[in-house]
């Protein structure tokens, strides 16, 4: 049996959070304010039809109003743990309205599986991919400096780029935040950031789950992760097996740093505390530069994949990245020409202050290259033009035969010098 008093309390809570008086709500519903007063005092219950109208006016679901009415007593127990369930559910109801408006998304309710349709037309053998991405060690740094939106965009780009590295199309992204205290404004900003980068890259945003755990996390703490799914045609996957001698190596530019690079920057700041307040080119603080989000390369790489151009696509942690070697065919190697690479302000700043030897930097940092694409020589010009429509891209090397005398430390080597 429904509890009039508790349902009335729930209507009161959401009315006030919507910034409405009893008269405001009554005017929207075309009834007297006395009727609203009777509901909120627990004297009477609205009809089923009117309950739907109330839910619409307060921008919540009817289930929310009814469930809250049943569980107010339980909420009081949760408050003793530091969790405001009423505030949390109010936020979750709002976040449900942030998901992408697309008919391919069939279910995006929180605490339920995401159900969606995938367009596989034209694919002979559709295959699917899924990856979980986390921001790594720079999350704490971003949280302390209030770069919540940036760290969300960064981790989303990271997940999308992993899917793109096999020539596949990122399809759906779902966020998850575990936190100590549900700061509604902060969490809403984070969800909006995830939605924005999804919209910019043609990926469906299926919402952001929230796990509030005040008994395990400090009030200011949170941890974010995203899941990204992708689809592609098995015969057209870019595995690296088609890489040939003479292929051109292209670099896609990102201003963000890889999360695995952040500990190295942290060591530099610990050694030289004044770096945190130093400015690059007299404009941005060094510490802020480290929190620029990485670029998601969906738009350009999708154009390239549609034409079947890439022989290899790599998401690199460093410019000279051992992980890439797993997908370079036997007998081949990649030569990077450092002299062809413009040096971004962040790395120029390090070299000008002699914080690290220039010849060592490609082994420690991305050097502004977010992804590496290997293309046939005869299609290199076309590839640069297609990628250049959305991203900064330039040739940085070649594929050549592997030889121990040149490649004593692996299948990737750098030659020349960085010019800044």
Report pLDDT for 96: 81
- What pLDDT is attached to residue 253? 95
pLDDT at 382 over 90: yes
Decide if domain 248-415 falls under CATH 3.90.650.10: yes
Quote the pLDDT of residue 238: 96
Q: How many CB atoms lie within 10 A of CB 208?
A: 27
Q: What is the dihedral of CA 12, 15, 16, 18, to 10 degrees?
A: 160
d(CA 284, CA 145): 14
Least confident interval from 244-253, 373-382, 399-408: 399-408
Q: How far apart are CA 223 and CA 182, in angstroms?
A: 12
Percent of the chain whose predicted confidence (pLDDT) is above 90: 54
Summarize the confidence of residues 214-226 as an average pLDDT.
89
Cβ neighbour number for residue 143 with a 10 Å cutoff = 18
More confident residue, 148 or 85: 148
Q: Report how far residue 265's alpha carbon sits from residue 252's, in angstroms, rounded to the nearest whole number.
A: 22
pLDDT of residue 6 exceeding 70: yes
- The separation between the first and the last C-alpha atoms of the chain, rounded to the nearest angstrom, is 75
For residues 368 and 318, what is the distance between their CA atoms, to the nearest angstrom?
A: 9
Mean pLDDT for all residues in the chain: 89
Q: What was the pLDDT predicted at 358?
A: 82
Whether the CB-CB separation of 233 and 121 falls below 8 Å is answered with no
**In the structure, what pLDDT confidence band is assigned to residue 59 with cuts at 50, 70 and 90?**
confident
DSSP 342: B
Q: Are 224 and 130 within 8 A, CB to CB? A: no
Residue 403 binned pLDDT confidence (cut-offs 50, 70, 90): confident
* pLDDT attached to residue 65: 80
Q: Kindly report the CATH number that applies to the domain delimited by 93-236.
A: 3.30.1330.10
How many residues are there in the chain?
420
**Domain residue limits, the chain:** 4-80, 93-236, 248-415
Query: According to DSSP H, which parts of 329-394 are helical?
Result: 345-352, 361-364, 380-388
Q: Which residues is 230 bridged to in the sheet?
A: 129, 170
HSE-CB at 189 with a 13 A cutoff on CA atoms is 12
Domain 4-80 class in CATH? mainly alpha
Max mean pLDDT among 107-111, 127-131, 363-367 falls in: 127-131
Cα distances from 19 to residues 10, 13, 22, 25, 59, in angstroms, run: 14, 10, 10, 10, 12
Cα–Cα dist 80/77, whole Å: 5
pLDDT at position 77: 60
| Pick from 133, 121, 161: nearest CA to 301 | 161
297 close to 163: Cβ distance less than 8 angstroms: no
pLDDT at 12 over 70: yes
pLDDT at 69 over 60: no
Query: Quick one: pLDDT at residue 70?
Result: 53
Which carries the bigger pLDDT value, residue 98 or residue 398? 398
Residue 154 has pLDDT above 90, yes or no: yes
Question: CB-based contacts of 55: which residues, under 8 Å, 6+ apart?
Answer: 61, 62, 64, 65
pLDDT single digits (tens) 164-211: 999 999 999 999 999 987 788 899 999 999 999 999 999 999 999 998
């Amino acid at each position: 049996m429904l509890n009039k008093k508790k349902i009335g309390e729930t209507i009161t809570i959401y009315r006030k959070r919507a910034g409405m008086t009893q008269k405001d709500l009554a005017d929207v519903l075309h009834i007297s304010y006395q009727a609203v007063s009777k509901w909120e005092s627990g004297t009477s219950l609205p009809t089923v039809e009117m309950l739907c109208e109330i839910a619409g006016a307060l921008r919540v679901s009817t289930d929310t109003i009814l469930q809250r009415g049943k569980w107010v007593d339980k909420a009081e127990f949760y408050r003793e743990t530091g969790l405001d369930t009423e505030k949390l559910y109010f936020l979750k109801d709002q976040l449900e309205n942030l998901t992408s408006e697309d008919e391919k998304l069939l279910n995006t309710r929180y605490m339920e599986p995401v159900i969606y349709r995938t367009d596989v037309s034209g694919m002979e053998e559709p295959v699917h991919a899924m990856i979980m991405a986390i921001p790594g060690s720079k999350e704490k740094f971003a949280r302390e400096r209030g770069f919540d939106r940036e760290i969300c965009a960064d981790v989303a780009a990271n997940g999308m780029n992993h899917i793109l590295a096999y020539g596949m199309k990122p399809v759906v992204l779902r966020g998850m935040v575990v936190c100590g205290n549900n700061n509604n404004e902060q969490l809403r900003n984070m969800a909006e950031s995830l939605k924005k980068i999804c919209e910019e890259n043609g990926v469906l945003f299926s919402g952001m789950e929230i796990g509030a755990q005040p008994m395990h996390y400090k009030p200011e703490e949170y941890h974010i992760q995203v899941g990204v799914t992708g689809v592609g045609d098995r015969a057209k996957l870019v595995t690296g097996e088609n890489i040939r001698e003479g292929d051109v190596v292209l670099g896609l530019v990102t201003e963000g740093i890889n999360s695995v690079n952040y500990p190295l920057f942290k060591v530099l700041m610990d050694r030289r505390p004044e770096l945190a307040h130093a400015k690059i080119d007299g404009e941005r603080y060094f510490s802020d530069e480290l929190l620029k989000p990485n670029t998601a390369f969906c738009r350009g790489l999708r154009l390239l994949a549609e034409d079947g151009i890439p022989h290899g696509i790599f998401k690199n942690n460093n410019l000279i990245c051992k992980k890439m070697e797993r997908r370079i065919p036997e007998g081949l190697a990649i030569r990077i020409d450092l002299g062809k690479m413009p040096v971004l302000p962040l790395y120029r700043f390090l070299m000008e202050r002699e914080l690290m030897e220039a010849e060592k930097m490609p082994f420690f940092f991305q050097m502004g290259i977010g992804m590496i694409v290997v293309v046939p020589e005869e299609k290199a010009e076309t590839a640069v033009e297609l990628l250049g429509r959305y991203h900064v891209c330039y040739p940085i090397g070649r594929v050549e035969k592997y030889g121990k005398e040149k490649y004593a430390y692996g299948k990737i080597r750098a030659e020349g010098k960085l010019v800044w």
